[in-house]
Structure 1
Amino acid sequence: MQNHFELFHLPQQYAVDLKALDQAYREVQNQVHPDKFARSPDAEKRVAMQWATRANEAYQTLRSPMRRATYLCELNGVDLETESNTAMAPAFLMQQMEWREALDDARAAKDVNALAALDAELADTRRAQLDDIGGALDAQQYDKAALGVRQLMFLEKFGDEVAAAFDRMTD
């Protein structure tokens, strides 16, 4: 069975040409779209539906930088162990504590500007984290990339908390 990159005839690497991915996805969907098999036997309809579902999943995985990085780690034998491995660098843990305090302070003070500043800082950190993950994957340092993805997962989740606090304040 071919992997997601092979399905779309793309090189197996972190950097993905999104236009090429979009075009390849449309081509695959065009070939397997269930509507093309409306008059076909049930078995052919099922196979077409399975391929369409697989193409959708592959597309969503490769389109998302975090999911793509996770997938590349897994393809190269590194399980992210997201449920059991919560080890993080001490500096990252300290940064988490500082961000949590900043979020608590902004909530308590109902300070929209402080939340906006925290959100901007998180966005910059996420971009830098994605760059680091890409560099690790390009260098075939999959364990390092996996740690980066676990940290990115925290950043994404914390970013959601900041956005929720922002929404509550601006409602």
Structure 2
Amino acid sequence: MNYFQLFGLANQFDIDLANLSTIYQTLQKQAHPDRFAHASSQEQLIAVQKSTEINDAYQTLKSPLLRAQYMLTLRGVDMPSEQASFGDVSFLMRQMELRELLAEIKFANDTDAAIFEASVVFETEFEQLFNQLQVQLTDNTTESNAQACDNVRKLKFYQKLQVELDKLEDALLDD
């Protein structure tokens, strides 16, 4: 089942999240297993499966990176594992620089300022890649899909960095 079709949406990256949520609630009301409490065990099983499918579709479509990855999968693009190495040497170098920036926060004189600076860098670079991804996904060519695939992987890296920064900030606050 195509998640976009399930929700009656166009297969495009930009979607109305409020509309998605409304459709999700409607679909869940129709398929929720509690509505089938007195039905046969087969009907109950089908309701559970349908409810799970609706949940999976909703979680995928509401998350921009999961939605992008899903769109690429629908286009037949093989998403390499996150452990697969990038051919983009400049991005690999940037990853090392950003990891160093993160590691240096612990030793900064003003950790609040260092955390803020790192957050701004991560957010700015994430937004630049995200904007590129949006453009790439509107153009369904082999080259654009390959670039979008690389950008999804890069954006996941920035998300992980932000999570690490948040954990570091929490740890420093606890000290």
Using the size of structure 1 for normalisation, the TM-score is 0.93
3-state secondary structure, aligned to 1:11 = coil
Aligned equivalents of 1:84 and 1:167: distance in 2? 27
Greater alpha carbon shift after TM alignment, 117-126 vs 36-45: 117-126
3-state secondary structure, aligned to 2:172 = helix
- Which residue matches 1:41? 40
Match of 2:165 among 157, 162, 165: 162
- Which residue matches 1:108? 107
Aligned ranges 1:21-40 → 2 under 5 Å: 21-40=20-39
3-state secondary structure, aligned to 1:68 = helix
**Number of aligned residue pairs:** 170
8 Å Cα contact 2:82/2:153 also seen in 1: no
Q: Percent identity?
A: 34
Match of 2:145 among 135, 142, 145: 142
- Which residue matches 2:154? 151
- Which residue matches 2:75? 76
- Which residue matches 1:118? 118
Greater alpha carbon shift after TM alignment, 20-29 vs 5-14: 20-29
Shift of 1:91: 2.7
Please report the RMSD computed on the Cα atoms of aligned residues, expressed in angstroms: 1.4
Runs of 4+ in 1 over 3 A off after TM superposition: none
Matched residue type, 1:61: T
Quickly say closer, same or farther: Cα 1:30–1:134, change in 2 above 3 A. Answer: same
3-state secondary structure, aligned to 1:87 = coil
Quickly say closer, same or farther: Cα 1:115–1:128, change in 2 above 3 A. Answer: same
Identify unmatched segments of 5+ residues in structure 1. Answer: none
Aligned equivalents of 2:106 and 2:68: distance in 1? 33
Deviations 1:72-102 (A, max 9, x none): 0101011111245321523322222221221
8 Å Cα contact 1:21/1:59 also seen in 2: yes
Matched residue type, 1:30: K
